[in-house]
Structure 1
Amino acid sequence: MSSPAQHPPLSVVIPLYEEADNLEPLMARVHEGLANYPGAWELICIDDGSRDDTGRRLRALAECYGPHLRIIQLRRNFGQTAAMQAGIDAARGELIATLDGDLQNDPADIPRLVAELLARDLDLLQGWRRHRQDDLLLRKVPSRLANLLIGWVTGLKLHDYGCSLKIYRSTVIKEIRLFGEMHRFIPVWVAGVTAPERIGESEVRHQPRRFGQSKYGISRTFRVVLDLLSAFFFLRFGARPGHFFGSIGLVFGLLGGMMMAHLLIVKFIMGQPIGQRPLLFTAILFIVVSIQFITTGVLAELMTRTLFAAGAKTHHRIRWQSDPKTAVWKVSP
């Protein structure tokens, strides 16, 4: 445990995709915001396969600021979730802070959030952009609806799941493997490995984008719904998918069996023909569907056990990164 005057080592992780114009002011603001951080810290920037000048400028800035600025370049654009996972894998700090590289998150909020996380003894402190500086119809309204839907489905009540400014304990976030578009539901996934009461939120500043273009659009709303269904499934049935598919199969099997029992009574006791009855075809369909769902559940259980036995592997690929042996901590004077 660290004393109030000395915070644990902190790793700041920033995924970047075609943010060349934001790099210099971003680096300046990060160093300004952490100038008085009472502990050692490092900055990890992940270039997610940018096609602009992001990679070259990052290397130049690393030479300027020093070896506490670590660079990871992915071979191609794998997405924000994969870039964030690459940064978390490389992080050495006891605490990990993540934020976007578009200058809308304020790095000056990080020391306050770290102090609050330690004071409240949390595993995750989620930023809340209460006064969000984005387009009302394209960003704010869909985001609020998505936040309400996520809270209703998962039972974890937060105001702003999508804010990238978060503080984690590394021992907790490194238990989770991020893939797909999971970065939108990180608090939900964290709730699967720690108690929900150890997840909190705090208001943070938010600023309008000054340079570059947003990578998000209205289409993200539809992806959020699909991702939410995936998150709900993996959290409830990730370790026992056979229960999910098997339950559906048993329901269809029960309905199909009841229909067949009724038709048997009609055929052999009442002596009426059943060959042309729609109920017969419906019963056969339900029984076939039942067998398919139960079989799918068994196969899913086998795949899950195989995955757990082999260990999950990340899907991003690194093209170049700073030498970890030369990385140092930045300590404020």
Structure 2
Amino acid sequence: MDISVVIPLLNESESLQELYDWIAKVMQSNRYLYEVIFIDDGSTDNSWNIIEKLSEKHKEIKGIRFQQNYGKSQALDAGFEIAQGNVVITMDADLQDNPEEIPELYNLIIKDDFDLISGWKKKRYDNVITKNIPSKLFNAAARKTSGLKLHDFNCGLKAYKNLVIKTVKVSGEMHRYIPVLAKNEGFTKIGEKVVKHQARKYGETKFGMDRFINGFLDLITISFLSKFGKRPMHFFGLWGTLMFIFGTTLAFYIGAYKLYKVYNGIRTILVTDNPWFYIALTSMILGTLLFLAGFIGELIVRIKNNEKDYIIKERLRH
């Protein structure tokens, strides 16, 4: 199969038929073998019924329905698991991503041998205050932290080699950082393509300002995980050891100084009355806890399982 189109959605019933027709037109005109995978992330409108009806008419359509709303990352992960195409395209269901971009994205992966192509919505039709400005700040921080020179990490329109989506694990709210996750797994040929962005035709956006706050927090998380996710002892163990050595050295100095004064008959305060004693004690305790945290982290990394953090209610397959 040439292409899998993975589409996560939440309450997008008005756009689904139009979106599929548009995708099908592009695919058929280019004679691609394709599948379209809709992942209903707990919609409360008529979205799933429409997906069922589309699936009955078109054998190319697969559907996954979540038990409840788990988030875009979980929806993408479920879609990636069953995607069979050599190239996997992700896009949003709100008609703001243009299916006409698919052939060029496909060629960049197949002919130019990119591992991943990320879309760049250079000209946007979103609210400047609530989306455009925060998005630029977020992307600048992501570029600086990750080292990837992408302009639009959060663009839903992306293309991947099948091997990439089978290797990368998307969880939490890490869908924004799939290029970073791919880079961490050794897929270094990552490119960018300017894509057409269109104004929302139906409904309202499902994302608010909180997504940028969560995005920055996730950026800190992924920055840490990219460096120490597979070797937590290198972080916690290092700081734990340094703090323990500092506390032990300070405690030894306080004790030796106390003995010196006692030996020379110099009157002095009790060790427990010295504030530095408590600083030393606290440093030793924190150092021990940090070292244990690193040790436990190493154990978790080695025995972690691949349990899913979502529940699938229904599937549609031909």
Shift of 1:96: 0.5
Which of 278, 284, 307 is the aligned partner of 1:313? 307
Which of 37, 40, 43 is the aligned partner of 2:33? 40
Retained in 2: the 8 A contact 1:32–1:108?
Answer: no
Shift of 1:33: 2.7
Give SS of 1:134's match. Answer: coil
Which residue of the partner structure matches residue 303 of structure 1? Answer: 300
Shift of 1:113: 1.0
Is the deviation greater in 290-299 or in 269-278?
269-278
Q: State the number of aligned residues.
A: 312
Letter in 1 for 2:313: R
- The runs of 5 or more residues in structure 1 that have no matched partner are 1-7, 327-333
After superposition, what is the alpha-carbon deviation per residue over 1:212-271, rounded to whole angstroms, capped at 9, x for unaligned? 111111111211121112212222111111212112212222321232233123212244
Retained in 1: the 8 A contact 2:55–2:316?
Answer: no
Letter in 2 for 1:45: F
Which of 315, 322, 332 is the aligned partner of 2:316? 322
Give the TM-score of the pair, scaled to structure 2. 0.94
User: Identity of paired residues, percent?
Assistant: 32
Retained in 2: the 8 A contact 1:142–1:221?
Answer: yes
Shift of 1:105: 0.6
Shift of 1:38: 4.2
Tell me, yes or no, if structure 1 residue 253 matches structure 2 residue 244: yes
Letter in 2 for 1:221: F
Which residue of the partner structure matches residue 329 of structure 1? Answer: none
Q: What are the residue-to-residue correspondences of 1:76-155 with 2, within 5 Å?
A: 76-155=68-147
After superposition, what is the alpha-carbon deviation per residue over 1:18-64, rounded to whole angstroms, capped at 9, x for unaligned? 10111122112212232323431111111111111101111112223
Q: What are the residue-to-residue correspondences of 1:131-280 with 2, within 5 Å?
A: 131-196=123-188, 198-271=189-262, 272-273=268-269, 274-280=271-277
Structure 1 CA distance, aligned partners of 2:30 and 2:306?
A: 35
Retained in 2: the 8 A contact 1:172–1:194?
Answer: no
Retained in 1: the 8 A contact 2:11–2:46?
Answer: yes
Shift of 1:97: 0.4
Give the TM-score of the pair, scaled to structure 1. 0.90
Give SS of 1:96's match. Answer: strand
Which residue of the partner structure matches residue 286 of structure 2? Answer: 289
Structure 2 CA distance, aligned partners of 1:76 and 1:97?
A: 24
Structure 1 CA distance, aligned partners of 2:105 and 2:276?
A: 62
Which of 53, 58, 66 is the aligned partner of 2:51? 58
Give SS of 2:15's match. Answer: helix
Give SS of 1:56's match. Answer: helix
Structure 2 CA distance, aligned partners of 1:85 and 1:195?
A: 18
Which residue of the partner structure matches residue 265 of structure 2? Answer: none
Structure 2 CA distance, aligned partners of 1:134 and 1:35?
A: 31
After superposition, what is the alpha-carbon deviation per residue over 1:79-100, rounded to whole angstroms, capped at 9, x for unaligned? 1111111111111111100001
Retained in 2: the 8 A contact 1:129–1:203?
Answer: yes
Please say which structure displays the higher CA radius of gyration: 2
- The runs of 5 or more residues in structure 2 that have no matched partner are 263-267
Structure 1 CA distance, aligned partners of 2:246 and 2:201?
A: 59
Retained in 1: the 8 A contact 2:233–2:295?
Answer: yes
Q: CA RMSD in A?
A: 1.5
Retained in 2: the 8 A contact 1:260–1:283?
Answer: yes
Give SS of 2:35's match. Answer: strand
Give SS of 1:213's match. Answer: coil
Letter in 2 for 1:9: D
Give SS of 2:217's match. Answer: helix
Is the deviation greater in 254-263 or in 241-250?
254-263
Retained in 2: the 8 A contact 1:11–1:41?
Answer: yes
Letter in 2 for 1:61: L
